[in-house]
Structure 1
Amino acid sequence: MPTVDEVTAALATVRDPEIHRPITELDMVGGIDIGPGGAVRVTVLLTVAGCPLHDTIRRDVTAAVAKVPGVAEVLVEFGVMTDEQRQELQRRLMGDRAEREIPFGRPGSLTRVYAVASGKGGVGKSSVTVNLAAAFAAAGRTVGVVDADMYGHSVPRMLGVTARPTQVQQMIMPPTVGGIRVISVGMFTAGNQPIVWRGPMLHRALRQFLADVYWGDLDVLLMDLPPGTGDIAISVAQLLPTAELVVVTTPQQAAAEVAERAGGIALQTHQRIAGVVENMSWLPCPHCGHRIDLFGSGGGALVAEALSRKVGAPVPLLGQVPLDTRLCEQGDAGEPLVSAEPDAPAAKVLVAVADQLAGRGRGLAGRQLGLTPVGS
């Protein structure tokens, strides 16, 4: 006969699909009953009634308990946490401060935050963001994406996210797809309803995405910014001063000049610029493979050189992404190109960009050095 301890040990391998921690650690196991003949009944306490992922939890619990020697049958029943239990869960995960701090802004945070920016729309900034996220996830890193383009949000569609966030007390659990945790204002609006907000509302929404969403332990957080240098760019600099900018441009000279202004905001906000990505760099000829410069050439290099002069530090050109209709098609289909067709030339460049960002050294801004002044 299996024992309660053996079943509990098996349940410790089951992780909540939204919180990404063992259900035993979250006090979600409401009871274990072992009947005659090895029939095991497990009661799981859901965080909220009607949890959309209860089928996933049932499947994972059943599979884990069925592996225990002597178990002949597994029956999973569901209950719901009380208000007191949810409050304790919130306190355990996010602390009990009235004004919760942003975890990525804490001194010593190990999460790399990259704000993907552009000077104008239509240069493929969101496509670069979601494909970088997929590349990081494929490399085994824990990734989160904030769709900070409040007016032009498109990340949920491009990542194939259809689930909505779950709210537990004042915590927001972001949907996860392909190992990527995602939040967007589009998840809170009905249909294709437009967002009509002024600056203060945008700031509050962005702060809520960063402070009230339970992200867990992230290796990388990507933020898809709106084009230009408006309210959101300023808010990111205020809320996350250690975020690094990734500037996206096209080879066209006019686009490069606008992108240079977007990167130049780092001079006023004292942020680092991780580098420049040139998108739509060329079109491979379908007959001979020769590069066709549809939008000119050299724009990415010009932006990198100009920003290097402005900030007084090297700003690299991280990569030149060729034009590929599959990049757009996969975005519409909800699966990034680097996941669907990793051997595509554009996918290889984007994976190489993610590798460069992952290998960058971290700055000292906002970090505690542990130094003590020595008296003279």
Structure 2
Amino acid sequence: MPCGSWISSVYRTCSSRLSTLNKAREAMSDRRQEVLTHLTRLALPTPDTNPVEAGLIRALSLTDGDSVVHFVLEPPAGSNGAALKAEITDWLMQLDWVREVKVALTDPQFVLPDSEPDEDNPPPIEGVEHVVLVGSGKGGVGKSTVTAGIAAEMVARGLRVGVLDADVYGPSQPRIWGASGRPVSYEDVLIPIATSGIKLMSLGLLTTPDQALVWRGPILHDTLTRLLFKVRWAPLDVLLIDLPPGTGDAPLTLLQQVQIDGAVMVSTPQDLSLLDLRRAMDLFRRTDIPMLGLVENMAVHICPNCGAEDHPFGAGLEEFTRNEGIPFLGKLPLSHSISAVSDCGMEQADEATKAASTGHFVPIVDKLLEGMTFG
């Protein structure tokens, strides 16, 4: 296999899996369409509107021989969600082949905590033993991939792990984990998506993939506060928070709103990346957040034919960490398995690929856990 051909292999694997998914969608039951058609005949209080055209029905599916109908109901803000759920359920039960209707209600709007946390003494998240930030000074260095890899290896060791995707303008954790579906609300608390042994919450699960978030500071602050304290995280041993790159509103909000055990930094060994990395580290130091260590990503490419090593971004970062007085957690290579899992999704990747990817994170998690005590 020529050098670099692993990239083509990644895309062939992903294309094959996407083709399989597309065929499954094409083979969808005719009865699903019958359900949708029936729902269009249910008039809402707004004239000439039905639940389908109003966009209230999400993730519609049928199970148990198409006799059980499942969907997520997104009631409009200010509406009686329970009454709307009952009305739609009764309407669908008119279909003689429908045995049961299972409906999950979402929050019609964000509801903030009753009071603002004290920035000088931020509270813990109830039921979460450790909160660890994963950050970088620069985008594109693989921070989200490293967050997911650390989480997967922690789960393999029996830890209860959650991942909060706080990269609000570029959420990628749902794609990395292969997660879909909209989180539902129960008693004014969002229920995170359970996938591959973790609890996942991301704005990528609450918006459409191509939707841009044009948010200023106050909205961003309120939303992140909600995702910290109004999500049912408990019980967790570790909550990993995937930060957006840089030193803007999102990292500062998180640093001020919640008790944090420490931060893991991710960087490539380029001088340009290190300039931005130093700025992000300075933010954590100014806010008294312990530095748990640095992960050097995309450190080396190993030729699959001859085994020769190439360092595409320059020398390693061990000396940098010694000079900065922080632990060096380890290096990650340019790896077929890591990129395949990130592109196809943890849920969709085969077991051998997932095992190979997670294996790269074993020594990193070893060192990371050395400084963490679990009760």
Report the TM-score when normalising by structure 2.
0.65
Residue 370 of structure 2 corresponds to 359
The 1:286–1:51 alpha-carbon spacing in structure 2 relative to 1, beyond 3 Å, is: closer
Rounded Cα–Cα distance in structure 2 between residues aligned with 1:117 and 1:265:
11
1:108 Cα deviation (Å)? 9.4
1:134 Cα deviation (Å)? 1.0
Rounded Cα–Cα distance in structure 1 between residues aligned with 2:197 and 2:188:
24
- Structure-to-structure mapping, 1:1-376, within 5 angstroms: 98-99=114-115, 105-106=123-124, 111-298=129-316, 300-308=317-325, 315-335=326-346, 340-341=352-353, 344=356, 347-362=358-373
Rounded Cα–Cα distance in structure 2 between residues aligned with 1:119 and 1:182:
24
Rounded Cα–Cα distance in structure 2 between residues aligned with 1:185 and 1:107:
19
CA contact (8 A) 2:192 2:199 kept: yes
1:307 Cα deviation (Å)? 2.9
CA offsets per residue over residues 178-220 of structure 1, 9 Å max, x none?
Answer: 1111111111112410111111211111110111111121011
Rounded Cα–Cα distance in structure 2 between residues aligned with 1:132 and 1:330:
13
Letter in 2 for 1:262: A
The 1:356–1:98 alpha-carbon spacing in structure 2 relative to 1, beyond 3 Å, is: same
Rounded Cα–Cα distance in structure 2 between residues aligned with 1:196 and 1:271:
29
RMSD: 3.4
Letter in 2 for 1:159: W
CA contact (8 A) 2:163 2:201 kept: yes
The 1:194–1:306 alpha-carbon spacing in structure 2 relative to 1, beyond 3 Å, is: farther
Residue 45 of structure 2 corresponds to none
Rounded Cα–Cα distance in structure 1 between residues aligned with 2:239 and 2:126:
15
Rounded Cα–Cα distance in structure 2 between residues aligned with 1:154 and 1:242:
22
CA offsets per residue over residues 133-184 of structure 1, 9 Å max, x none?
Answer: 1111111111111100000111001101112101123110111101111111
Rounded Cα–Cα distance in structure 2 between residues aligned with 1:125 and 1:343:
20
Report the TM-score when normalising by structure 1.
0.65
1:361 Cα deviation (Å)? 3.5
Rounded Cα–Cα distance in structure 2 between residues aligned with 1:319 and 1:288:
24
Rounded Cα–Cα distance in structure 1 between residues aligned with 2:178 and 2:144:
13
1:305 Cα deviation (Å)? 2.5
Residue 11 of structure 2 corresponds to none
CA offsets per residue over residues 8-58 of structure 1, 9 Å max, x none?
Answer: xxxxxxxxxxxxxxxxxxxxxxxxxxxxxxxxxxxxxxxxx99989979xx
The 1:193–1:55 alpha-carbon spacing in structure 2 relative to 1, beyond 3 Å, is: same
The 1:306–1:194 alpha-carbon spacing in structure 2 relative to 1, beyond 3 Å, is: farther
Letter in 1 for 2:324: L
CA contact (8 A) 2:171 2:203 kept: yes
Letter in 2 for 1:259: L
1:114 Cα deviation (Å)? 1.2
CA contact (8 A) 2:148 2:176 kept: yes
The 1:242–1:339 alpha-carbon spacing in structure 2 relative to 1, beyond 3 Å, is: farther
Rounded Cα–Cα distance in structure 2 between residues aligned with 1:178 and 1:343:
13
CA contact (8 A) 1:249 1:256 kept: yes
Rounded Cα–Cα distance in structure 1 between residues aligned with 2:320 and 2:152:
26
The 1:172–1:124 alpha-carbon spacing in structure 2 relative to 1, beyond 3 Å, is: same
CA offsets per residue over residues 266-290 of structure 1, 9 Å max, x none?
Answer: 2210111110000001001222212
User: What runs of 5+ residues in structure 1 fail to find an aligned partner?
Assistant: 1-48, 60-75, 82-96, 309-314, 364-376
CA offsets per residue over residues 226-261 of structure 1, 9 Å max, x none?
Answer: 111111111111012424110000122221232122
Letter in 1 for 2:322: E
Letter in 2 for 1:347: T
Rounded Cα–Cα distance in structure 2 between residues aligned with 1:207 and 1:122:
26
What SS does the aligned partner of 2:231 have? coil
- How many percent of aligned residue pairs carry the same amino acid? 36
Letter in 2 for 1:174: P
What SS does the aligned partner of 2:134 have? strand
CA contact (8 A) 1:243 1:272 kept: yes
1:343 Cα deviation (Å)? 5.3
Higher relative contact order (CA 8 A, sep 6+): 2
CA offsets per residue over residues 274-320 of structure 1, 9 Å max, x none?
Answer: 1000000100122221211111012x224423431xxxxxx111010
1:98 Cα deviation (Å)? 3.9
